[in-house]
């Protein structure tokens, strides 16, 4: 049952990410996300990296409270958030933005589609008129080669 909780939370995090990206990052907290949409990064770290901390805090707290008196369901909710954060890091920062030179070449249609969708998202330099706010699930049209 705990594995199911972890997987369901992982999948739900895509919706949380989409909503947060569209309405918080491109809304109220645009100040932190804006430098991520600039064509050339000024520094290796961006103000946008604050969102890694924002998403890590609930996971850390859930790990802590889910480990009190043995493992309980809160731990596995935190684990689902953690695994999504790890996937986000690998896809967004490593594969798409290439902040690390780990996966430079891929012929995988799914990964190529993710990169295409994210490029479409970044063609908009302002916070308005954005599209493709998801990370792992993007419209099927980007998977056609």
The DSSP element (H or E) to which 120 belongs, if any, is helix 109-122
Q: Which pLDDT belongs to residue 115?
A: 82
Mean pLDDT by 10 residues, the chain (145 residues): 95 93 88 78 74 91 92 96 93 78 78 81 70 77 71
* C-alpha–C-alpha distance, residues 34 and 115, integer Å: 19
* C-alpha–C-alpha distance, residues 109 and 90, integer Å: 17
Beta carbons within 10 angstroms of residue 93's beta carbon: 15
Q: Which pLDDT belongs to residue 4?
A: 97
Domain boundaries, the chain: 2-106
Q: Which pLDDT belongs to residue 42?
A: 58
Please return the burial class of 16, using the count of CB atoms within 10 Å of its CB with bins 0-12, 13-18 and 19+.
Answer: middle
DSSP string, 45-62: S-GGGHHHHHHHHHHHHH
User: CA-based angle 89:52:25, to the nearest 5?
Assistant: 105
Which residues does 23 contact at the CB level (< 8 Å), separation at least 6? none
The DSSP element (H or E) to which 33 belongs, if any, is helix 30-33
Q: Computed over its alpha carbons, how large is the radius of gyration of the chain?
A: 16
- Sign, Cα dihedral of 40, 50, 10, 21: negative
Q: Which pLDDT belongs to residue 86?
A: 94
């Amino acid at each position: 049952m705990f594995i199911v909780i972890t997987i369901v939370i992982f999948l739900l995090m895509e919706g949380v990410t989409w909503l947060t990206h569209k309405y918080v990052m491109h809304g109220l907290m645009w100040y932190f996300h804006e430098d991520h949409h600039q064509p050339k990064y000024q520094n290796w770290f961006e103000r946008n990296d604050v969102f890694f901390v924002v998403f890590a805090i609930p996971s850390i707290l859930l790990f802590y409270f889910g480990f009190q008196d043995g493992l309980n369901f809160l731990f596995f909710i935190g684990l689902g958030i953690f695994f999504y954060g790890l996937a986000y890091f690998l896809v967004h920062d490593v594969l798409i933005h290439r902040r690390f030179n780990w996966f430079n070449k891929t012929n995988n249609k799914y990964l190529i589609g993710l990169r295409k969708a994210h490029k479409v998202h970044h063609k908009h330099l302002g916070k308005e008129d954005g599209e493709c706010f998801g990370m792992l699930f993007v419209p099927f049209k980007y998977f056609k080669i």
